[in-house]
Structures are given as structure tokens and as C-alpha cells.
Structure 1
Amino acid sequence: MANFNTHLNVAFMVSGTLSLTVYKAGLIDDSGFLVCVALGTIGGLLPDLDSDNSTPIKLGFNITSFVFAFGLVMHWRSDLSLLALIALWLAGYGFMRYVIFHIFTTMTVHRGVIHSVPYMAILGLGLTCLSYYGLHLPLTTSWFYGLFLFGGAMVHLALDEIYSVNLTGMRLKRSAGTAMKFYQHKDKWWYLLIYGVLALLIYAAPPFAPFVDDVSDPTHWQQLRQGLLPTLLETWWTHKG
């Protein structure tokens, strides 16, 4: 399968290119462009959260543990002494980084249900719902956030499938078909739960038709065409035509 750097670089390039496209079309603003790039890149690392020794899971739990400990200290900063706050900081960080991390890695298997299309769809739709209903962001922006996260994850799964082909011998490796999957019989009860949650999110998701109407609005793509080529090159091309 592809390594961490490959997933990171390819996800960044794909999400960056697509983000620039929708930004130049006027579908997202400056901050939306940056968030879409970040979400697409993060999505490109998400499927490896079920790998106990992967860089994304270690980095993710380190950051989560730090944020959790920081939140505890900020909440109790006025009520506890300095030594108590230091002890709380260390205890909170240690609990997340070692106890929760151990439980998570014990319950998950690499290329299990997390490393699947429906699970990534849940994360993408969940982010769309959170952005629209929780953060009250515009409909189009909310859908783009969820789609970029999901799209980055699909880049990851596609890379793993590509790397499962031995191009020199033109044959499939043993890992073929274990990356971009929709169901595995041995995890049938987990997949039943996943598809149940996915169905609920689809039902609760913000309306999709207005998003499609906005994206397909010809004025956006006319704006994109006008900003597609550098000014000098566009002038030369128009003159030549």
C-alpha cells in the first residue's frame, strides 16, 4: 500500500487543485478555500486511523490528548492550585494518549471497517451536518467541506488499491480489494451499524438539490473561464482566435 508521504502529498495536490477550481469559480471564499485544502489533505490520512503504528493515528492522538488536557486546565484554572492544574494536565494527557489510545487500537484492526467507503461517507456527511446545523455555515460551503473530506479519503483508498497491483509482473498483490471496500462478511454486524448510521445522516443531511443548482450555475463557470489563463496568454489566445 502507499506510504504516509504518498498519501499526504497526493491528497494535498488533489485537494489543492480542486479547491482552487471552486474558489476561482466563486463558489467558496478565501477562508473556505483554505479549509477545503486542509480537509482534503486530512481526508487523505483518515483511513489509516485503524493502523496502530501509523503516523496519522499517533499524530492525531497526540494532538487530541494535548487539546483535551488543555481544555481541562482551562475549565478548572480558577478553582485549582498551580500544582493541581499541572497534575490535571498530565493526567488528562496521559488518559487520552495511553488509555484511550490503547482501547482504540485494541478495538480496531488495520484495513477493517474504518478503512471503507461507507465509514468515510459517514465522516463526510457528519461534517456537512455539523457545518450547516451546528456552525450555521452556508449550504454550499457545508457541502463542500464534507465532500472534500470524503474526497480526500477516496484518494487514499484509491492509492492503496493502485499500490496493490504489481506493475512489473502485472498481477494483484494479496492486499488487492482490501482498501476500497463497501462490505466484509466477517464484519457484517459492524457494517449493519455503519449503514444504519449512514442512512440516518442521509435523511438528516442539508438539502442537496440547492447545492447542485448553485454548483451548476453557468455564471460560476463563466467566471472560472475568465480567470483560467494568465492575462497575457488570454489576450494572445483571443487575438489568435
Structure 2
Amino acid sequence: MANFNTHLNGAFAVSGTLSLVVYKAGLVNDPGFLMCVALGTVGGLLPDLDSDHSTPIKLGFNIAALVFAFGLVMHWRNELSLIALMALWLAGYGFMRYVVFRLFTRMTVHRGVIHSVPYMAILGLGLTCISYYGWHNTLTASWLYGLFLFGGAMVHLTLDEMYSVNLSGMTLKRSAGTAMKFYQHKDKGWYLLLYTLLALLIYAAPPFTAFWEQLRDPAPWAQLKVGVLPAFIEDILY
């Protein structure tokens, strides 16, 4: 399978390129452009959350533990003494970093249901719903955020499948077919839950037709023709 740097660089390259396209077309503003790049890059690391020793899961739980501990301290800052707050901070961090992390790693198997297309689709659609209904972003921005997160994850899964091919002997490694999964019979119960959640999110998602119509509108894409090439090259060609 591809390593951490390959996933990170691949997702960043793809999401950065596509973000520039939608930004140049005027579909997102400056913060939206940066958000699309960031979400696409993060999406490229998400499928490895089921790996006990992967960099994304360790980094993610470290950040989550710090945020959880900080939230506890902020909530109880007026009721507890300094010593008690310090103890609460350490207890909150330790609970997330060691107890919750250990439970999570025991419940998940690398390249299991998390490392699958429907799981990543749930994360993408979930982000779209949160962005539109919770953060009150525009319809276009909300769908693009979800699609970039999902797209980054697809880059990850594609790279893993590409690395499962032994090019020197043109043979498949044992890992072939374990990355880009839609279903596994041994986890049929989990996949039933995943597809149920996915159906509910599709039902609750913001209107896709209006977003699709905006993408089909030729006006935004006409802007891409302006300034695509440096001026001196356009002078030579035209």
C-alpha cells in the first residue's frame, strides 16, 4: 500500500489543482478555496483511521485529546481550583488518548469497513449537511466541501489499489482489492448499517439539483478561458 507521504502529497496535489479550477470559475471565495484544499488533503488521510499505528490516527487522537481536555477546563474553570483544573486536564487528555484510543483500535481492523467507499461517502455527505444546515454556508460551498473530502479519500483508495500491483512482474499483491471496497460479506452487518446511514444522509442532504444546475451553467466556466496561459504565450498562439 502507499505510505503516509504518498497519500498526503497525492491528495494535496489533486485537491489543490481542482480547488484552483473551482476558485478560478468563481464557485468559491478565498476562504472557500483554502477550505477545499484542506478538506481534500485531510480526506486523503481518512481511510487509514482504522490502522492502529498510522500517523493520521495517532495525530488525530492527540488533537482530539487536547481539544477534549481544553473543553473540560474551559467548562469548569470558574468552579474548580488551579490544582483541580490541572488534574482535570491530565485526566481528560489521558482518557481520550489512552482509553478511547485503545477501545477504538480494538474495535477496528485495518482495511475494514472504515477503509471503504460507503464509509467515506458518509463522511462527505455528513460534512455537506453540517456545512449547510449547521454552519449556514452556501449550497455550492457545502456540496464542494463534502465532495472534496470524499474526493481526497478516493485518491487514497486509488493509490492503495495502484500500489497493490507489482509492475515488475505484472502481478497482483495480496492487498489487491482490499482498498476500493463497496461490500464485504464477512462484515455484512456493518455494511448494512453503513448503507442505511448513507440512504438517510442522501435523503437529508441539501438540494443537489440546484447545485448541479450551477455546475452546468457555462458562465462560471467561461472565466477559466481568461488568463489560463501567461500573456506572452497567448500572444504567440493567438
Whether these two folds match at TM > 0.5 is yes
- Mean Cα deviation higher: 136-145 or 77-86: 77-86
Question: Shift of residue 234 of structure 1?
Answer: 2.3
Alignment of 1:129-140 (within 5 A): 129-140=129-140
For 1:29, the equivalent position in structure 2 comes to 29
Question: Shift of residue 213 of structure 1?
Answer: 1.0
Q: Secondary structure at the match of 2:110?
A: coil
For 1:167, the equivalent position in structure 2 comes to 167
Deviation readout 1:17-73 (Å, 9 max, x if unpaired): 000010001000000000000000000000000000000000000001001111111
**1:87 and 2:87 correspond:** yes
**1:109 and 2:100 correspond:** no
For 2:50, the equivalent position in structure 1 comes to 50
**1:38 and 2:38 correspond:** yes
**1:228 and 2:228 correspond:** yes
Question: Shift of residue 75 of structure 1?
Answer: 1.1
Q: Distance in 2 between matches of 1:25 and 1:60?
A: 33
Question: Shift of residue 224 of structure 1?
Answer: 1.0
- Unpaired runs of at least 5, structure 2: none
Question: Shift of residue 237 of structure 1?
Answer: 2.4
Question: What code does the residue aligned with 1:5 have?
Answer: N
Q: Percent identity?
A: 77
Deviation readout 1:177-202 (Å, 9 max, x if unpaired): 00001000000000000000000000
Question: Shift of residue 236 of structure 1?
Answer: 3.0
Question: Shift of residue 95 of structure 1?
Answer: 0.4
Question: What code does the residue aligned with 2:149 have?
Answer: L
For 2:189, the equivalent position in structure 1 comes to 189
**1:64 and 2:64 correspond:** yes
TM-score, structure 1 normalization = 0.97
Q: Distance in 2 between matches of 1:170 and 1:6?
A: 21
Answer whether contact 1:36 1:144 (CA < 8 A) is retained. Answer: yes
Question: What code does the residue aligned with 2:46 have?
Answer: L
Question: Shift of residue 232 of structure 1?
Answer: 2.7
Structure 1 outlier segments of 4+, above 4 Å = none
Q: Distance in 1 between matches of 2:199 and 2:65?
A: 31
For 2:179, the equivalent position in structure 1 comes to 179
Q: Distance in 1 between matches of 2:232 and 2:214?
A: 30
For 1:99, the equivalent position in structure 2 comes to 99
For 1:200, the equivalent position in structure 2 comes to 200
